[in-house]
A and B are shown apart, each in its own frame.
Chain A
Amino acid sequence: MKNPSGGNVFWETIKSARLAFVLLWAIIAVSFTGALLPAEQQPLVYSSVWFFFLLGLFAVNLSACSVDRIFFNRKKIGSTVTHIAVLLILAGALVSVLSGIRGHMELSEGAGSDRFYEGDRERQLPFSVTLEDFSLRWYDAAQNGFPVRVRVEDAGFKSAFQVRLNTVYPLGKTGYSFSAVKYLPHFIFNEDHAPVSVSDQPQNPALLIHIVGREGGEDRWIFSSHPDQQMGGDPNIRFRFDLEPQIKEFRSTVKVSDPSRGATFTRDIKVNSPLEYRGYSFYQARYDSAGLSWTGLDVVYDPGVKIVFLGFILLNLGIIAIFYPKLKASFVDPPKERT
């Protein structure tokens, strides 16, 4: 079908800037609508056929616009690279959707597996992974001082402290002062009824407080897991230990065995540091918070990632190529009365 000026109406529409703006606003509106939905309902938008159709139509429009106005124009090399980059990103995303696999595997210490699960579907790996060790590292609880709140009942005194060990803290004009003398991350009483820490994991953090009061001194254990439990002493002074232990690192040490290639090696998997082997990537995702005896790994096979990242690199280069010369270009002089 031809329009009055002799062009093909379909082609003129597909390559039109008007369609590009309509599609851009539509993508913005749909994306925002999806963001407003609860996480479990978002796939209804972002994984829907009509959203893919919208992105596909945008890719066609972008290709047509580019072929018509930008490509093969030496002066528009930046725009050419940028538009190719966007198309590459969309193509990479399509490859991810069509051939990417995302699953998970749980491994107990000492156990290995060559299988993982994509939802309920079992998938086979071309090699096996064995968990040799799972460990947690915590931030040093004393690094920024222990958070302690103090209340002196009859004086109406309340205050919060970041307490350092063996430092004396006077409590205003109440006649009391206190210091922290010992910290145990995993407090228990041993067989001799002596307080000890059975591990360096903050399972039951406890702080021994030495109180100097109006009628002498006393020692008192306070617990962040049991803030209202205080062992004995002057009821006129109350402490609250607000420590919230922070995890510094999750680490799964795994052994990869690949008999088909004669390869065996050991590697640590941490957040931000996945294991990558033969196109599969293993990410630290879950762990056994009670006994640290197993780890949960996300397993991803996604051939689209490299295409998308190539698109990202080209996108940045293209955009810099477009705008950097424009920034350097001569500028209209500032109006004199404004300078």
Chain B
Amino acid sequence: MTEYLLKISFILYLGAAFFTGAPSAAAKGARQRVSAALLCVGFLFHSATIMLRWHAAGRPPFASMYEALVLFSWAVIAVYYFFEFLYRSKILFIPVLILALCMLTGAFSGDSSVKPLVPALQSPWISIHVVTYFIGYGALSVAFMLGLLYLVFRKHNAAGSEHMRYIDTLMYRLIIFGFPFLTIGMTTGSAWADAAWGTYWGWDPKETCSLITWLVYVVYLHTRVLRGWKDNKAAWLCIIGFLVTLFTFIGVNFILPGLHSYTS
């Protein structure tokens, strides 16, 4: 049943994207309201999918790639709503829809069966570790889309123009929103590893790549403060950061298996 709900939310997101149209033709009036309503209803279905699967599985639904992508796409839209509430930043609407649709397409191509949790995953840490990580990932992936947008718009706009400053500041805000979640996710993962295996840090490939991801964003934040990077360099660093994030999330499972290989 949860798969049907998810397909409904996917169709609603698709409808929201259709009514919004191309990024250059910002949705206005009726089209904008229809798009927003479709996204909102789709998000409700999406949230219901996660809650129902949680209930049906009798455990947090964060144990397989299918479940991870469902949560990741949910987090992306949750971050959008938070930023919409905080800054009324509707510029994120299309990037967020693109991300959510891509992730859900990936989820549909995976195995959606409910698998029992291996003993190592039966931990109270799983919820806080995974949820915080995906909220962080959600914010960083939206920042990545803005990074791309920045580089595209930069060809036709001066760095100090109103548009460029707006995109740059929003990108920065997304990163400083996501970074604390990334930190909580990494440290709670370490506490979990200590409880499960007696090693808070074992240089497992997933652990190492999560540290590398964290350090890349440390570099981003420090270059901004200490070097004043706010132009193309910052956008590139944001893009590199997300590519490393993506490698940590998906690539490691297939290329560098270790303790986290149950997620592949």
A interface residues with partner B (beta carbon < 8 Å): 17, 20-21, 24-25, 27-28, 31-32, 34-36, 39, 42, 46, 93, 102, 139, 143-144, 246-250, 270-274, 281, 283, 285, 298, 300, 302, 305, 308-309, 312, 315-316, 319-320, 323-324, 326-327, 331-332, 334-335, 337-339
Contacts and interface: CB of A to CB of B under 8 A. Distances in A.
A315 B187 contact: yes
Contacts of A285: 197
Contacts of B212: 28, 31-32, 35
Which of A246, A249, A250, A335 is the most central at the interface, judged by chain B CB atoms within 10 Å of its CB? Answer: A335
A283 B197 contact: yes
Contacts of B91: 334, 338-339
A309 B201 CA distance: 11
B176 A323 contact: yes
A332 B165 contact: yes
Majority DSSP secondary structure for residues of B touching A: helix
Interface in B84-130: 86-91, 113-116, 118-120, 122-123
Nearest to B218: A24
B196 interface: yes
B250 interface: no
Contact of B163 (A248, A327, A335): A335
B244 to A, nearest CB: 9
Contacts, number: 138
Contacts of A246: 115-116, 118
A21 B184 contact: no
Contact of A248 (B119, B184, B227, B252): B119
Contacts of A315: 183, 187
Contacts of B162: 332, 335
The 4 closest A-B pairs by CB, nearest first: A271-B119, A300-B198, A312-B187, A323-B176
B113 A144 contact: yes
Given A20-B222, A305-B194, 9 more contacts: A31-B215, A143-B116, A247-B119, A302-B198, A309-B191, A316-B187, A332-B165, A332-B166, A339-B88
Given A139-B116, A144-B113, A42 B163 contact: no
A31 B211 contact: yes
Given A34-B208, A247-B119, A335-B163, A21 B223 contact: yes
A335 B168 CA distance: 13
A281 B205 CA distance: 25
B219 A25 contact: yes
23 contacts: A17-B226, A28-B215, A35-B252, A36-B256, A93-B201, A102-B198, A246-B115, A248-B119, A249-B122, A250-B119, A272-B120, A272-B195, A283-B196, A285-B197, A300-B199, A308-B200, A312-B191, A323-B177, A332-B166, A334-B88, A335-B163, A338-B163, A339-B90
Contacts of B183: 315-316, 319
Nearest to A102: B198
B218 A319 contact: no
A1 B79 CA distance: 52
